[in-house]
Structure 1
Amino acid sequence: MTKTLPRRAFLSLAAAAGLSAAAGPAVANAPARSLRPVARSDDLLRRLQTPPEELIARARLDGRVGFAVADMADGKMLEDHAPNLGLPPASVAKALTAAYALEVLGPAYHFETRVIATGGITDGVVQGDLVLAGGGDPTLDTDALAALAAGVKAAGITGVTGGLKVWGGELPFVRVIDPLQPDHVGYSPAVSGLNLNYNRVHFEWRRAGSGYTVSMDARSGTHRPDVTMARMGVVARDMPVYTYSDSNGRDEWTVARGALGDGGARWLPVRKPELYAGEVFQTFVRAQGIQLGAPTVIDALPAGETVARHESAPLRIILRDMLKWSTNLTAEAVGMMATRVRTGAAPASLTASAAEMSAWGRESFGLDSMAFVDHSGLGEDSRISARDMMTALYNIRRRKGLKPLLKAFPMRDSQRRIISDHPLKVHAKTGTLNFVSGLAGFVDLPDGTELVFAIFTSDMDRRAELSRAQRERPPGGREWNRRAKALQQALIERWGVLYSA
């Protein structure tokens, strides 16, 4: 049955696209040539929509643009531009990582972190070591370690003859997700089979007389344990703001005194995640009256008795939060765990795991252009075409129900203010790198039509000119990104007018 869009809703779409009911050849954005008379103003409004090539030219992105949009009902392509051009997906890649993990691991999958006692237990005393064994959980936090320590006490353990060992070998160790990022950005931490607080440590500073007091801790909502495996020194300089070195078995940081002001805080990436988790766990075990020495990282997991365990939330919840907050650590951990289960062995590296996921994309959906270097989209060398991304979302929507996990994408006015009653409802994954912007997902039209789309834009030449230090806040980056997002919305509004019944 043909769906009829109420005229009021159609006019709302037209208004959102910058038109009015009385629009004629004299309005801004009108085509240069005259239109043939048409019987209905609805048809006229459709004919007056700005062509996509003109929208792209107005955006002045000075790079490459590719998009594809189809009807979700039958997969019919409605409109495209350079649809086969492979471009960086940025964090749009996480939508494919979510689908990969859902298919391989299942929505009810739980990550498990265990405490293992080796050598047996006699009269409450472990006759060997206590081992904190990671299970790849990307969401493990300080509160969970406190609960694990309480679980050890509840198991009747009062002492340990050996030491505290930590194991993260469930997943390969990745020192940094993207080596091209500045050292201090929290979104590019290490990845391991044992992760804590998204592998970030909290750095806080306060002016004290002529100097500063600083702290490094693993805070949560209820705990604030200090750590010594990451240290900060305040240095009399203006630039660079931060320096990092791996020294004396610690993450050694310095910060420029001239950048600190009166006080503040930020999260810094952790490069030694097993030691980080081990030190925090040691603090909580000691608080339970069980004395342990400093943690030691081990390569092989010994046999023993599990005395406490922590289960993550179901994978579906983890993925929902990953897509909402775009957490890179989560994407890399769930992607590598999916590869481990799919292949029966831990991947050799993050790049190898991403290649396995790309192979899955080609096998499952025919995504010939898919060539990822990670699971988060942080690496600039990942590529996929708009057509393939749209095709993947079309099939995933039908097979896996991914749409409910995607967050709502708000439509905005010319001042970037959210339009709360906009007639188009968009659920999508955004992706942003310096001079790279992507958006892919679904559009619900007022008449019930559902569209699936992907839009990728990038200026890799301009990105290549950036120094490593400029990558956190590049000159011109914010304005370029604003224009890219404006183009994305203009295309969606165009489709809303053109493809409503």
Structure 2
Amino acid sequence: MVQNYSRRGFLTVLAAASAVPAWAAPPGISLRPHTRPSGLHKQAIPAAEALIRKAGLSGQIGFAVANTATGRVLESHEGSLGLPPASVTKSITTLYALEKLGPTHRFRTRLIATGPVENGVLKGDLVLAGGGDPTLDTDALADMARKLKAAGVREVRGQFKVWAGTLPYVGKIDQNQPDHVGYNPSISGLALNFNRVHFEWRRSGKGWGVSMDARSAKYRPDVVVAKMTVKNRQLPVYTYESRGGTDHWTVASGALGNGGSRWLPVRRPDKYAGDVFRTLARAHGIQLKTETITDALPAGTTVVTHQSAVLRDILRLMLKYSTNLSAEMIGLAATRVEDPKAASLVASGQAMTRWARANLGMTQARFVDHSGLGDASRVTAADMVRALDTPVARQQLKPILKQITLRHADGKPNKNHPLKVVAKTGTLNFASALAGYVTATDGSELAFAIFTADQQRRSALGKDDRERPTGSRTWIRKSKRLQQTLLERWGTLYGA
């Protein structure tokens, strides 16, 4: 009969053996510890269903994971269930844009002269022409003003015109968001500072001093196309109205405190850019008339050109910071390569849907935009994993995805976690998504997608409740905890 010894019992046997000269025969019990069966650690891994129950997450959950070396789907739960992909959409937008525009594409913003420049005088109009650059900022406009002076222009006799027609005008990315959230700006072919204006307030006597400016790393010119008035009230915190092409905001005094700031969306990005450029040109002694918006690009000679970084670098930052405006402008630009008349986000989202179905195998996908802010988009976990496991995704998307740091049990970042994850996150109210690649300690690489959403709680939210709805943060934390436990399960179970 095999017996199990405690440490004390083992030492007793050993002492007794040393009291006699020798054993006449080999011992009947091995003094070496038993070898543990291979894969015993994997037998202790909780089942996926147990992890889901433990998460206590309301709503629906869909996930899938596949080995990228074999293409084999290793595990799936409701993999064919279509859920809001949120900002995971930006991963597909990245692949779409890289194919349609190319990784080295650059967006150009130009200053065009419609007449000759004689003795420092432009005898014609000056046109600020947008080229769809989502990264244009005040610093870049200041540099263009400096170059205009260096090109010999001291005076402009004609009009100062602004053209933003390289992309369609879209009033908001998502109509269901509150008016004041900076991540839901307007879109046009000319953007500045991600189409946001900086609102700052400070206590001044019994009231507040307020400013609206187009600040950047070097400059903070005041603007006239966005105005703020403090109102003696508690709620609503903000109201918005467009009058005469100007954004008129009010803010509740009860929400201000002693001081602070935030970015507000701009609804007329063409006038905003023109307003700021006129101020910057004046700093170089060039007086421009108040900007006028033109629907048609005037013919003329380009005197100054500002080029963006290459598209691949812009996309890397878009994925890192999840910039909605960048995704929408780049997605629209990609669509317009083959359909110059595409006039809405919905139409462009439909074009990307067709492309994803044909090129990535996403047979059930439906996109209504390129950022994921619109919650009518639907993607299944199975389709997302299929897209991630394509050669083009592994070669072009994976290298520019953000590294995701997993966490300790107390929620603090664990920079030494044995699993390495690069992925795109996605968050809406009561919706959370994560999709990308996880590398196990043995080097095995898995493509995965995890989508969670409580559609009932989302649909119950009013427009004004969507910035910080009650219960959403707790729900999101539960979803992110489930995401990590699933990744740890897969990394251990499907690694060597």
Query: When the two structures are superposed, what TM-score results if normalisation uses the length of structure 1?
Result: 0.91
Q: Which of 346, 349, 369 does residue 351 from structure 1 map onto?
A: 346
1:216 and 2:212 correspond: yes
Identity %: 58
- Cα deviation for residue 43 of structure 1 reads 2.1
Distance 1:396 1:371, change over 3 A: farther
Instruction: Quote the Cα distance in structure 2 between the aligned partners of 1:80 and 1:158.
Output: 66
**Of 70, 76, 80, which residue of structure 1 is paired with 2:72?**
76
- Counterpart of 2:236 in structure 1: which amino acid? P
**How far apart are the structure 1 equivalents of 2:387 and 2:361?**
9
| Residue aligning to 1:174 | 170
Q: Which residue of 1 aligns with 2:376?
A: 381
Q: Who wins on radius of gyration, i.e. which is larger?
A: 2
For the 8 Å contact 1:84–1:385, the answer to whether it is kept is yes
Question: Does the CA contact (< 8 Å) of 1:439 and 1:454 recur in 2?
Answer: yes
Question: SS of 2:278's equivalent?
Answer: helix
1:56 aligns with 2:52: yes
Q: Give 2:449's aligned residue.
A: 454
Partner of 2:12: none
Distance in structure 1 (CA, Å) of the matches to 2:267 and 2:299: 27
Give the whole-Å Cα distance in 2 for the aligned partners of 1:323 and 1:493. 23
Q: Deviations for 1:325-353, whole angstroms, at most 9, x for unmatched residues?
A: 00000000110001111x14141211101
Letter matched to residue 224 of structure 1? R
8 Å CA contact 2:425–2:434 kept in 1: the answer is: yes
8 A Cα contact 1:353 1:374, kept in partner: yes
CA distance in 2 between counterparts of 1:435 and 1:308 reads: 47
Q: Is the 8 A contact 1:120 1:304 kept in 2?
A: no
State the match for 1:436 in structure 2: 431
Distance 1:42 1:129, change over 3 A: farther
- In the alignment, what sits opposite 1:251? 247
1:479 aligns with 2:471: no
Alpha-carbon distance between aligned partners in 2 of 1:178 and 1:344, rounded to the nearest angstrom: 22
Q: Give 2:229's aligned residue.
A: 233
> Which of these residues, 371, 386, 394, is aligned with residue 389 of structure 2?
394
Partners of 1:242 and 1:254 within 8 A in 2? yes
| Kept after mapping to 2: 8 A contact 1:163/1:293 | yes
Structure 2 gap segments, 5+ residues each: 1-33
Q: How many residues align?
A: 463
> Shift of residue 396 of structure 1?
4.9
1:147 paired with 2:143, answer: yes
Q: 1:193 maps to which residue?
A: 189
Task: Verify the 8 A CA contact 1:428 1:440 in the aligned structure 2.
Answer: yes
Q: Distance in 2 between matches of 1:65 and 1:173?
A: 36
Unpaired stretches in structure 1, ≥5 consecutive residues = 1-37
> SS of 1:402's equivalent?
helix
Instruction: Give structure 1 regions of 4+ aligned residues with deviation exceeding 6 angstroms.
Output: none
Question: 1:208, 1:124 → 2: CA distance?
Answer: 45
Partner residue in 1 for 2:266: 270
Q: Is the 8 A contact 1:274 1:297 kept in 2?
A: yes
State the partner residue of 2:7. Answer: none
SS of residue paired to 1:202 = strand
Alignment of 1:101-112 (within 5 A): 101-112=97-108
Cα deviation, residue 42, structure 1: 4.9
The answer on whether the counterparts of 1:397 and 1:403 sit within 8 Å (CA) in structure 2 is: no
Matched, 1:466 2:461: yes
Instruction: Indicate the RMSD between aligned Cα atoms, in angstroms.
Output: 1.2
Instruction: Specify whether residues 370 and 164 from structure 1 end up closer, same or farther in structure 2 by C-alpha distance, changes over 3 A only.
Output: same
The TM-score, its normalising length taken from structure 2, stands at: 0.92
Q: Report the alpha carbon displacement of residue 41 of structure 1 after superposing the two structures with TM.
A: 4.7
Q: Which residue in the other structure is 1:20 paired with?
A: none
Deviation, 1:403, is 1.0
Counterpart of 2:26 in structure 1 is none
Partner-residue secondary structure (3-state), 2:87: helix
**Are 2:403 and 2:423, in contact at CA under 8 Å, matched by a contact in 1?**
yes
Aligned partner (choices 90, 106, 109) of residue 94 of structure 1 = 90
User: Is it true that 1:298 corresponds to 2:320 in the alignment?
Assistant: no
Looking at structure 1, the residues matched to 343 and 127 of structure 2 have their Cα atoms a distance apart, in angstroms, of 24
CA contact (8 A) 2:440 2:492 kept: no
Give a deviation string over 1:34-85, Cα, whole Å, max 9, x none.
xxxx974552221221111121122222211111100011211100001111
